[in-house]
Amino acid sequence: MMKEKGLEVVYREEISQDEFDKVYADYEAVIVRSNVKVRPVRGRGNLRLIVRAGVGLDNVDVSGFTKLGVKVLNTPGAVTRAVAELTVGLMISLARDIPRLATDLKSGRWSKAQAHGVELAGKTIGVIGCGRIGREVARLARAFGMRVLVNDLIEIPRDFLQEIGGHQVDLETLLKESDFVSVHVPLDPSTKNLIGEKQLRLMKRTSYLINTSRGDVVNEEALKRALTEGWIAGAALDVFSKEPPDDTELLRHPRLIPTPHMGAQTAEAQRAAGVEAARLVIEELSTRPA
């Protein structure tokens, strides 16, 4: 797509942080995912545009580059459905204990008698952060017959709440009333450790936490205690404060389902993010530099 428009394209499957820091300023535009930090260590150079193919901009020094006159864009809509579907998958996996029972059977154990699942229908889901992904999760949860509570800093439009038959509540009410709490906020200083000991202790002992947003939104030390001491029934994490994570106590906890930050890893989402990123680069580079 970009080559057809006459742009010279250099594609790198893998690049080290050191090498990226050395070369980024040679290009007019860079498209990145989340595997390198993009910081203005060599100033702006030729750079006019940075596109993060995906949502989270926490690996890009947005204010640093903006001050230098470099545009920073992302492709937020492309991965919404993929992350929402993973979230539902994790909810069902928690509700039915699918990973453990599957592992048992692969090891020769028929654990049918230990399968004590619950159904999603009739349960309450609490969606923290009701933006693109949170809303899609809410819609899917509604289709499963769940009651939906949402929490957000902004007022959620009434027609959306009507569509999902949901209610906007404060965080404390959401935590106390939900059977599944799913986090979909961006990571920023105000959401770091948004879910810590105090919040986990407010949740029901039978409830589950799902985090597919960013690792640092949930305090992992508090979560380990919550799982071990039974403040909540279980959790699923797609994201970790350090990735790949090395906290084996957390990863191997029997009440945790960990996944390797795979929320956006569908063929459809990756393609859509790539196409949108290329479109943004073509649009920017077809205009004269500012």
Residues with catalytic function: 214, 243, 261
- The torsion defined by the Cα of 284, 285, 286 and 288, in degrees rounded to 10, comes to 90
Compute the least distance from the CB of residue 135 to ligand NAD, in Å.
Answer: 8
Alpha carbons within 13 A on the beta-carbon side of 218: 27
Applying CB under 6 A, does 55 fall inside the site for ligand NAD? yes
Please, where are the H alpha helices in the chain? Answer: 17-23, 62-67, 80-96, 98-106, 132-143, 158-164, 171-177, 197-202, 220-228, 248-251, 267-285
Applying CB under 6 A, does 154 fall inside the site for ligand NAD? yes
Indicate the residue among 128 and 227 with the shorter CB distance to ligand NAD.
Answer: 128
User: What is the total residue count of the chain?
Assistant: 290
Applying CB under 6 A, does 181 fall inside the site for ligand NAD? no
Q: Please report, in angstroms and rounded to a whole number, the separation of the first and last CA atoms in the chain.
A: 24
Interacting residues with ligand NAD between 12 and 41 (CB under 6 A): none
Of the candidates 242, 129, 63, the one whose C-alpha atom is nearest the C-alpha of residue 137 is: 129
Applying CB under 6 A, does 234 fall inside the site for ligand NAD? no
Q: Which stretch binds ligand NAD (CB under 6 A): 17-25, 186-194, 202-210, 228-236?
A: 186-194
Compute the least distance from the CB of residue 110 to ligand NAD, in Å.
Answer: 34
| Number of residues this chain uses to bind ligand NAD (CB under 6 A) | 32
User: 29, 79, 175, 226: which one contacts ligand NAD (CB under 6 A)?
Assistant: 79
Of the candidates 183, 187, 214, 185, the one whose C-alpha atom is nearest the C-alpha of residue 62 is: 187
User: 162, 190, 248, 287: which one contacts ligand NAD (CB under 6 A)?
Assistant: 190
Applying CB under 6 A, does 184 fall inside the site for ligand NAD? yes
Applying CB under 6 A, does 152 fall inside the site for ligand NAD? yes
* Owner of token pair 């957390």: 250
Give CA–CA dist 61/67, Å, rounded.
10
Residue 211 near residue 238, CB atoms below 8 Å: yes
Indicate the residue among 2 and 171 with the shorter CB distance to ligand NAD.
Answer: 171
CA 194 to chain centre: 14
Applying CB under 6 A, does 199 fall inside the site for ligand NAD? no
Applying CB under 6 A, does 274 fall inside the site for ligand NAD? no
Residue nearest ligand NAD by beta-carbon distance: 131
Question: Which residues lie near ligand NAD (CB under 6 A)?
Answer: 54-56, 76, 79, 83, 128-134, 151-154, 184-187, 190-191, 194, 212-214, 238-239, 261, 263-264
